[in-house]
Amino acid sequence: MPRTEILHKESNACPSELCHIRKAVAHASHQLGFSQQDSDAIVLAIDEACTNIIRYAYKDCKQGRVVLDVFSDGTQAIFRLRDNAPKSPKDCLEVKKIDLKKPGGLGVMLIQQVMDSVAFVETEASAGNTLEMKKKLPMEKQ
């Protein structure tokens, strides 16, 4: 099934850019027919994924870029985040046992709960990561 592009946004890997990304994701989520509650959850999940790219992939070095693409294939929304940081370990998407006394781990759990699938996808580029998150579209948009 062909994909329809909903959003293409390139940003600096900088925390100050997150507000612009959140607004763009909120607009795209509404365009895709998600409820306000689902849209808010999607925005939070994408924000967390972008924060992880900035903090862990780029190690807070503000030289990187984050590219967000949002597509619809008619049955699901596809959110792709690309960076040019060193390859991330595949196990970084696994939900680990959460110790509430220690920081970390909650963001990945949140992303996994909001989205129907979350995975790194292979690309031709030797550097960088592409994180793909999918969420089933509301019935009235299918």
**52-to-69, 75, 102 alpha-carbon distances in Å:** 17, 28, 17
Q: Find which of 35-44, 50-59, 78-87, 107-116 is predicted with most confidence, using mean pLDDT.
A: 35-44
The mean pLDDT of 18-46, rounded to a whole number, is: 98
- Is CATH 3.30.420.40 what the domain over 4-141 is classified as, yes or no? no
Query: Does residue 56 register a pLDDT over 90?
Result: no
Q: How many CB atoms lie within 10 A of CB 2?
A: 7
User: Could you tell me which residue, 141 or 69, shows the higher pLDDT?
Assistant: 69
- What mean pLDDT is reported for the chain? 89
Tokens of 91: 């196990």
pLDDT band at 96 (very low <50, low <70, confident <90, very high): low
Give pTM, 2 decimals. Answer: 0.89
* pLDDT on residue 27: 98
Query: Does residue 106 register a pLDDT over 70?
Result: yes
Question: Sign of dihedral through CA atoms 19, 43, 91, 84?
Answer: negative
- pLDDT above 90 as % of the chain: 67
* pLDDT on residue 132: 96
